[in-house]
Amino acid sequence: MDTYFPGHGDARYRVHRYELALDYRPGPNRLGGTARLSAVAGTEPLREFALDLAEFRIGRILVDGRPAHYTHRAGKLRIRPAKALAAGAAFTVEVHYTGNPKPVRSQWGGLGWEELTDGALVASQPVGAPSWYPCNDRPADKASYQISITTPSPYTVIVGGRLLTRTTRASSTTWVYEQAAPTSSYLVTVSIGAYETLRVTDPAAGAEPLRRVPQTAYLPTPLMPRFTHDFGRQPQMMHLFEELFGPYPFGEYAVVVADEELDVPFEAQGVSTFGTNHLDGVRGSERLVAHELAHQWFGNSVTIADWRHIWLNEGFAKYAEWLWAERSGGRTAAQHAATAHAKLAALPQDLRLADPGKKLMFDDRLYERGGLTVHALRCALGQEAFFRMVKDWTAIHRHGVVSTADLVAHAGRYTDRRLDTLLNAWLWQGPLPPLPVAT
């Protein structure tokens, strides 16, 4: 179980595929449909197992095609198959459900399905996925997805992955997306709105799509001019990050600008979502464009085993901001590190980066100290070895699951010097270590 959210997920089995066939009506905010999960039992027979699902009305539940007994309380759907499942057995679960989706309450506010003025979006990190579909809600249980959503035809539906079909019948349109890459439940997103579609192109390539990775934007028509400027360097970011981190790990990348202001942008598998407030016409949020794109490598492809390792996502994404600035004519990573170090030195020294606790897992200090820790590794390893280490990290663990211990062991292979003292100070001690400098 996840150490910060022990009530979420069920480690007794693993899901390898979700197939969701949903219908959503924005006016009454009504969602319904069928979720079919293909899973494998663990090392013990399964007489009962659990899914995470918010307060929906359950129509029926089938396990391997046979009706199953269930209880549904406090966001937990406990299912008892007609016959116990053997250890290691493959099985399917089919859940029919309807209701009015709403965010899951948390200390960070509502998480998951959010009804907008005209449409909806999903922002699930860390535990909002059960707000709209039944799932094994723990980051380590990654699966492929096929998601079909039917909604009134004026709306555009965006889901992470490849659009397979779009079929219109009468006044409704069904959008079918496939995400073949293993995906954590919190990284599945949906955006529904009256959006225009824009291909994001590389200015150096004229009107041609970006060299290898199809990039698409979805946004309200009036925001087109600002978007074109503010996200104009995203193709160059993609080129840089492929150079530094290795090949982009998915088949496509989409950006959604929701027709609402959002406190912060957020990433999902193959998609990043921004608010209208992140477009100002002067690239004031460009560091966030880099940050969310970098998460496709750090967090989405290379995924944390549980939430105490969150710094692995945010530290590398923060450092990617500094690398983009360094390579695009702005301040160097060392200058950003110095600024972050001075900022942290003036704040409380009670954050343990490698296990910050649930209360501090999204604290601003975790992001800054995470970036500084990555910079400390760069200084200790040297330029060439550091970037070789990073590219190997994303290649070896592509679509996998990692921990802090995995990174420590991995980094140690790229130097003759011992990193124990350095990394222990940055990862496990509260007091801020000295500013890292290249030797």
Contact of 289 with 200, CB cutoff 8 Å:
no
DSSP strand pairing (13-25 vs 143-152): parallel
pLDDT at 340: 98
Is the pLDDT at 201 greater than 50, yes or no? yes
The per-residue pLDDT for 151 is 98
The mean pLDDT value for 114-143 works out to 97
> Measured on CA atoms in the order 161, 276, 220, 233, is the torsion positive or negative?
negative
Name the pTM for this structure: 0.96
Give the dihedral sign, CA 424/430/436/439: negative
* φ, ψ at 134 (rounded to 5°): -75, 130
Q: How far apart are CA 95 and CA 130, in angstroms?
A: 13
pLDDT at 378 over 60: yes
pLDDT tens track for 145-186: 999 999 999 999 999 999 999 999 999 999 999 999 999 999
CA–CA distance, 332 with 322 (Å, rounded to integer):
7
Residue 435 has pLDDT above 70, yes or no: yes
Reported as a pLDDT band with limits 50, 70 and 90, residue 210 is very low
Does the structure show a pLDDT above 50 at 81? Answer: yes
The Cα–Cα gap between 57 and 128 comes to 18
Least confident window among 2-16, 36-50, 207-221, 249-263: 207-221
Which domains are present in the chain?
Answer: 13-193 (2.60.40.1730), 196-296 (1.10.390.10), 306-428 (1.10.390.10)
Residue 208 pLDDT: 47
CB distance 63 to 81 below 8 Å? yes
Q: Starting at the edge strand that comes first in sequence, how are the strands of the sheet with 266-268 ordered?
A: 196-199, 215-219, 253-257, 271-274, 266-268
291 is in an annotated binding site: yes
Contact 136, 76 (CB under 8 A): no
pLDDT for res 212: 82
At residue 369, the pLDDT reads 98
Q: Per residue in 231-249, pLDDT tens?
A: 999 999 999 999 999 999 9
DSSP per-residue string spanning 274-302: E-GGG--SS-TTHHHHHHHHHTTTBTTTB
Given the residues 292, 319, 321, 368, the one annotated as active site: 292
Decide if 367 is catalytic.
Answer: yes
326 is an active site residue: no
> Which tokens sit at 82?
């007609």
Q: What is the mean pLDDT of residues 374-379?
A: 98
pLDDT score recorded for residue 377? 98
94 is in an annotated binding site: no
H-type alpha helices, 64-183: none
Residue 47 clears pLDDT 60, i.e. is over it: yes
- 206 pLDDT higher than 60: no
For 213, the token pair is: 């990775």
Q: What percent of the chain has pLDDT over 70?
A: 98
CA-to-CA distance for 322 and 228, rounded, in angstroms? 22
| Structure confidence by residue, pLDDT tens digits, 303-335 | 999 999 999 999 999 999 999 999 999 999 999
Report d(CA 68, CA 50) in Å as an integer. Answer: 12
The proportion of the chain whose per-residue pLDDT surpasses 90, expressed as a percent, equals: 95
206/41: higher pLDDT: 41
Question: Which of 178, 367, 368, 414 is flagged as catalytic?
Answer: 367
The answer to whether 173 touches 156, Cβ cutoff 8 Å, is no
384 annotated as ligand-binding: no
2 pLDDT band (50/70/90 cuts)? confident
Mean pLDDT, residues 11-40 taken together: 97
Residue 295 has pLDDT above 70, yes or no: yes
**DSSP code at position 216:** E
Please, what is the average pLDDT of the chain? 96
- First vs last C-alpha separation in the chain: 41
- Compute how many other C-beta atoms are within 10 angstroms of the C-beta atom of residue 51: 26
Predicted pLDDT of residue 204: 59
User: E strand or H helix at 119, and its extent?
Assistant: strand 119-123
Is beta strand 303-304 parallel, antiparallel or unpaired with respect to 401-402? parallel
User: Which DSSP letter does residue 160 get?
Assistant: S
Measure the CA–CA gap between 191 and 123, rounded to whole angstroms: 9
What's the count of helices (H) and strands (E) in the chain, helices before strands? 9, 22
In angstroms, the Cα distances linking 86 to 38, 41, 136, 427 are 15, 7, 19, 41
pLDDT, residue 205, reads 53
Question: In this predicted model, what pLDDT tens digit does every residue of 268-294 receive, in sequence order?
Answer: 999 999 999 999 999 999 999 999 999
Please say if the pLDDT value at position 98 is more than 50: yes
The pLDDT confidence band at residue 207, using thresholds 50, 70 and 90, is very low
Using one digit for the tens of pLDDT, what is the confidence trace for 51-72? 999 999 999 999 999 999 999 9
Distances (CA, A) of 101 to 26, 114, 143, 150: 11, 8, 23, 15
